[in-house]
Amino acid sequence: MTQKKIGLLLLLPALLMVLVLFLFPLGISMHAAFTDKQGVLTFEHFIKAQSLYSTDMMFTLFITLTASVLVCLCSLVLSGLMGLSESRFLVASLKWLYRWPLFIPFIVAAQCMRTFLAKNGLMNNSFVALGLYEPASSISFLDWRGIIITFVWKQTPFVTLMLAGAVASLDRSMIEAARNLGASRLRVMVEIIIPQVMPVLMVGLILSFVTMMSVLSVPMMVAGSQPTLLTVDMAFRINSYGDYPTANALGVISYCMTSLVAWFYLRQQMRDHAHQPM
């Protein structure tokens, strides 16, 4: 037997698992989304999905993109401070603090936020106790804001971890030269560090975006009512009506949203590779 054949044989069980438990259901979902009961190509499920859930489609894009932008900003600030600050206290305390949500499961994060962000939760209570506002004017954040806060809370450490690694492996001499020539830390960050860690940042953000598009527990537990994310709508179509065609049409729409983001990334990558060998 050739090495190629042995290799494929060793890979076979793992490949079969992906084929049967991922690619086959993916095919079924596409098939169900695009065909009617007789198996004829149709777009009626998409028209139905559009008429019922167009608000939620915009809502999903708005939530996931806003959360991604916020994750991007927060992780840049955190990794920049950890990489450039001269205050040992600041660097040490940030390093200790930022990782906490990293390995916390989404369902646990959702439960934490369900209590923390409530009208009578620890956040409002602490601000009232500090005298920042009156108890009567405290509001519940358990709606779209809660979903965004939970996503940012959960995903920022992940992207920061990747970014901090990239910043640490940069050539320090260029940064130090810029600092010696009088460049401010902000300028070093924007003009020297960010361009170099951009590929890592994009990978982290895309992985975060896909994760946010897949999570079911956070929108269900943190914000109950309408509008909501497409994941919840899919679960609802199945559990309440057994309506597979519409649910799968929504599924295809969520694939398209992630593919769009991935496509932007790939295009960016190719352009970068064309200009400079990496």
What is the footprint of other proteins within residues 241-270 (CB under 8 A)? 244, 247-248, 250-252, 254-255, 257-258, 262
Among residues 128 and 202, whose Cβ is nearest to other proteins?
128
Least distance (Å) between residue 191 CB and other proteins: 24
**Residue 49 in contact with other proteins, rule: CB under 8 A:** no
Site for other proteins in 91-130 (CB under 8 A): 93-94, 97-116, 119-123, 125-126, 128-129
Whether residue 227 contacts residue 59, with contact meaning beta carbons closer than 8 Å, is answered with yes
- Of 228, 99, 221, 205, the closest CA to residue 153 belongs to 99
User: What distance in Å separates the CA atoms of residue 158 and residue 237, rounded to the nearest whole number?
Assistant: 32
Lookup: tokens for 85: 């600050």
Binding residues for other proteins, rule CB under 8 A, total 81
Among residues 192 and 222, whose Cβ is nearest to other proteins?
222
Which of 35, 196, 210, 272 touches other proteins by CB under 8 A?
Answer: 210
Which of 167, 175, 215, 223 touches other proteins by CB under 8 A?
Answer: 215
Site for other proteins in 12-41 (CB under 8 A): 13-15, 17-18, 21-26, 28-29, 32
Least distance (Å) between residue 90 CB and other proteins: 5
Give every CB contact of residue 213 below 8 A, 6+ residues apart in sequence: 60, 64, 230, 231, 254, 257, 258
Largest CA distance in the chain: 78
**Residue 135 in contact with other proteins, rule: CB under 8 A:** yes
Least distance (Å) between residue 46 CB and other proteins: 14
**Residue 278 in contact with other proteins, rule: CB under 8 A:** no
